[in-house]
């Protein structure tokens, strides 16, 4: 089974703090993603990475950065946390994003990190 592990289930941080959210996958997947999920807004893509040291902005990258130094690990960084970044953060990975290769682009999610910024 694919396992995507997020380092924390719950985090409470203060406004202005630098926050690191870690995600590790054990299936040698090429692609990794960071989403946030808010009531009524669904899943929104923050950043994704299709290879080590490669990253692409998603729909809402402002206020976030990412790091992928190793294939299995994808980190989300909140440079200066703000209250509007209080949310559920979900990491996902997939083998391949090429949509023509059946099954390769299925995304597997970690359990999520519920972040509260006070």
Residues contributing to the site for another protein (CB under 8 A) = 33, 40-43, 45, 48, 50, 56-59, 90, 96-100, 102-103, 105-112, 114
Report CA 21 to chain centroid distance, whole Å.
8
What's the closest the beta carbon of residue 16 comes to another protein, in angstroms?
A: 28
Query: Which is nearer to another protein, 31 or 75 (by Cβ)?
Result: 31
* Tokens representing residue 40 in the block: 């009524």
15 or 93: whose CB is closer to another protein? Answer: 93
- Rounded distance, CA 27 to CA 87, Å? 27
Q: Which is nearer to another protein, 15 or 54 (CB)?
A: 54
Spell out where 71-109 has E strands. Answer: 73-78, 87-94, 108-109
């Amino acid at each position: 089974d694919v396992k995507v592990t997020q380092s924390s289930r719950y985090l409470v941080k203060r406004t202005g703090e630098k926050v690191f959210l870690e995600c590790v996958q054990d299936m040698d997947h090429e692609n990794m993603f960071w989403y946030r999920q808010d009531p009524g807004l669904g899943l929104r893509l923050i950043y994704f990475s299709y290879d080590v040291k490669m990253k692409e902005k998603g729909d809402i990258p402002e206020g976030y950065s990412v790091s992928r130094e190793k294939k299995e690990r994808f980190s989300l960084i909140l440079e200066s946390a703000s209250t509007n970044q209080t949310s559920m953060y979900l990491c996902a990975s997939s083998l391949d994003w090429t949509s023509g290769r059946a099954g390769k682009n299925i995304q597997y999610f970690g359990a999520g990190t519920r972040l509260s910024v006070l």
